[in-house]
A and B are shown apart, each in its own frame.
Chain A
């Protein structure tokens, strides 16, 4: 249906290691959005991907949208303790409604 599957659910890394979270849909996505939610906080918009095969970078973060527009990934290079939080992908449907993935909770050991 309209769900987006996100893996892994949890990821524990040592500071300096890389981190990747994946988002998959059984249907073609018009776009995919990524959000970060710090512990106790609210989701903060990171980026929106629209084009097939699109790759966007924000400093140590790299976002990809699959060629078939059914999957997406977020990769963080050389994690820092400030990267701690839960990362959500979300698909946008009619009326700008968002369906969120289950999220990947990232913890970084200093």
Chain B
């Protein structure tokens, strides 16, 4: 089946710094990828849609200047959390759609100290 990878799997950073998370589709091309955030014991919340070659589309309430998304190729999307704060600590998961099925990456656990 299709595989989506994420890097890093875990990251700890200090408050005020920026963190970049990569999402790759390993065996298929994805013109669209999605970024989700999941807090402990909660559901997944869609943050934004990453579009190859164009600007990302952000969900209501998500700060586009804080969560920078770049989809530079058909297999790579990056999410940069800028000026991270402890409240940004969460599980960030990307997904890519192939035909009718969404494939999720293994997630990145971000801890901001």
Contacts and interface: CB of A to CB of B under 8 A. Distances in A.
Partners in one complex: yes
Interface of A: 33, 41-45, 48, 88, 95-103, 105
Q: 9 closest pairs, A vs B, by CB?
A: A42-B104, A100-B43, A100-B44, A43-B104, A45-B101, A42-B107, A102-B43, A96-B97, A42-B106
Contacts of A41: 106-107
Interface of B: 32, 34, 41-46, 49, 57, 59, 93, 95, 97, 100-107
Contact of A43 (B32, B44, B97, B100): B44
A100 B36 CA distance: 11
A69 to B, nearest CB: 17
A105 B41 CA distance: 9
Which applies to chain A's interface (DSSP): helix, strand, loop or mixed? strand
Contacts of B105: 42
Given A45-B101, A48-B100, A95-B49, A101 B43 contact: yes
A103 B104 CA distance: 16
Contacts of A97: 34, 46, 49, 59
Contacts of A101: 43
Contacts, number: 46
22 contacts: A33-B102, A42-B93, A42-B106, A42-B107, A43-B93, A43-B95, A43-B104, A88-B43, A88-B44, A96-B32, A96-B102, A97-B46, A97-B49, A97-B59, A98-B34, A98-B102, A100-B43, A100-B44, A101-B43, A102-B43, A103-B43, A105-B41
B46 A99 contact: yes
Contact of A45 (B46, B57, B102): B102
Nearest to A101: B43
A101 B103 CA distance: 18
